[in-house]
Amino acid sequence: MSDTPSRKRQDRSDTPDPTLVKKHMPQSHTAPSGPGFSAIPLPSGPQSAFLPSSPTHFTPLSVPSTPFGPGASTAFPSLPSSASQATSPALSLQTPTTPVVTPPTQSTTPTLPASSSPPTVKFRMDDSGKVHYHAKDDTQARTDHAARYMEMNASDFALFKNAGKRNPSDKVMDPVSGDKYVFDSQQNKFFGYDKTKAGKRGAAVDATLNQELLGKQQDKQLVDRRREDRTKSGQDTLKPFDVGHYNQAPDGSKFDVLSGKKEEAGFVSNRDHIPSGASLQLRDGQPAYNQGLTIAIPNEVMHRPSSATYGGRQTTKDTRDSDAPTARKRLDSDHSGLAFYRDTTTMLARTADTDFTQRSGAKHDYLDLTKPENRVRQVGAYRTLYRGNTRMHAADRDRGVNPGETGHTVSYAATSDGRLGSFSYSQAPSGSSGAPTQGSLMAGHFQEQLRNTKLAK
């Protein structure tokens, strides 16, 4: 049977469909490291034309080789805590004839003004990539997921959570209570957060709470997640790591379409499907390809060298467990969670600690990935892409990414010129919480990449 896409597939063969294969281009390579990766030493030989001449451009991540899953954690230096000090003992007034000293008051540790201590957000990611807040989790959830919580300061967390999103938002959050609000800057007024309402704006809060929130906002004690609308014509230029549908948005989607959008100056992008467009076609035909979620990345320095599904790599044969080698696009169509994990971990590993801004098509501030804030933005955008895909899968099993698959780790062999070769996938060992899912490995990898920036703990 051929690879011709059908609406709901019944059977598959390993015969590649030439209509689904993009033009093969030579690629550059540095072996990735990180959770689930077992890097194989590269054979000596000439580098690809796309690999930077300096080896410092592609520094492999130094992360644990053990797979991530529920219960995994990595010790990290604690962020500075608020300073405390004791008050001096208070002395009473004394008369000349009868000196009397009152007992010293008990030393106390005063609370510093709110504005002197930036707030932090304590949160976790579940297997689908959804973010949960410690402040909102009940006692049982806090116990069950104790090892999965992490903390970021409010501004870094907002950068992570907003990454890749182009739609507007007036959302702010109180990190202490976890309560969300909508802020109207024109009225200087806060409203309840209601997903069923236009703009998610619920009823106005009462005057007392509004005044309290205004004070917290002035003291920078709220998480400000407001962002401009970049979906409107004339304001919709693409930035690196924007996330959206390839060329058609399904009804009710939170994302707009990326195809046809003009990039910001200096940035030449490719809209990279994850999972691959070819595997989506095999699952549910051309509409799945058109509506597939993509991420805008520079073509020459990221997509070509570091995408596992660029061009002819779709037909490379990979091995999963003891199964017979299978064309990558076919294997991806059956194991979407594994496909997303492989593509994302490979890309994040091969682009870490690299400044691309002096290279053609990548002259954009966001693409200096030696800066921790830009790495947070990149990791956050792939998290946004992942969460969008798991939501699609929940609505239609022939779309998006399945986070519930049995977890597999990834290793690969490189070709002699450093390009990506074939991959092999092995079932991840069970931990204290049982066998990991592909989703728990993905969430764990995101968590580890954030910690590596030193902007999360």
User: pLDDT tens digits, residue range 306-324?
Assistant: 999 998 899 999 999 999 9
Residues 383-408, mean pLDDT to the nearest whole number: 97
Rounded Cα distance between 162 and 350, Å, is 23
Q: Which residues contact 434 (CB under 8 A, 6 or more apart)?
A: 70
pLDDT at residue 118 greater than cutoff 50: yes
Predicted confidence at residue 66, as pLDDT, reads: 38
Q: CA-to-CA distance for 399 and 416, rounded, in angstroms? A: 36
**36 phi-psi bin (left φ>0, alpha ψ -120 to 50, beta other):** left
Peptide linkage before 275 cis (omega within 30 of 0)? yes
- What pLDDT sits at residue 416? 60
Alpha-carbon span 241 to 271, nearest angstrom? 9
- If you average pLDDT over every residue of the chain, what do you get? 81
Q: Are residues 12 and 326 in contact, defined by beta-carbon separation less than 8 angstroms? A: no
Strands 317-320 and 420-427, sheet pairing:
parallel
Sheet (strand 408-414) strand order? 326-327, 317-320, 420-427, 408-414
pLDDT, position 414? 67
At residue 375, the pLDDT reads 98
Q: Are strands 243-245 and 223-224 parallel, antiparallel or unpaired?
A: unpaired
pLDDT of the residue at 110: 41
Which residue, 172, 240, 159, 175, is CA-closest to 205? 172
Do 350 and 377 contact (CB within 8 A), yes or no?
no
Distance from C-alpha of 374 to C-alpha of 72, rounded to nearest angstrom: 25
Quick one: which H or E segment has residue 207?
Answer: helix 207-218
Per mean pLDDT, which range of 77-86, 142-151, 192-201, 380-389 is the poorest? 77-86
- The pLDDT score that the predictor gives to residue 113 is 45
Which one has a higher pLDDT value, 248 or 33?
Answer: 248
Mean pLDDT, to the nearest integer, of 190-196? 95
Q: 123: helix, coil or strand?
A: strand
Which pLDDT belongs to residue 335?
98
Reported residue count of the chain is 457
DSSP 323: S
Using 50, 70 and 90 to split pLDDT, how confident is the model at 434?
Answer: confident
| Per-residue confidence band for 420, with pLDDT thresholds at 50, 70 and 90 | confident
Q: Under 8 Å CB-to-CB from 202, ≥6 apart: which residues?
A: 182, 191, 192, 193, 194
- Band (117; pLDDT cuts 50, 70, 90): confident
pLDDT tier, 3 (very low <50, low <70, confident <90, very high otherwise): very low
- What pLDDT score was predicted for residue 415? 66
pLDDT greater at residue 24 or residue 212: 212
Query: Using CB atoms within 10 A of its CB, is residue 8 exposed (0-12), middle (13-18) or buried (19+)?
Result: exposed
Residue 401 pLDDT grade (very low, low, confident, very high; cuts 50, 70, 90) = very high
**How much is the pTM?**
0.75
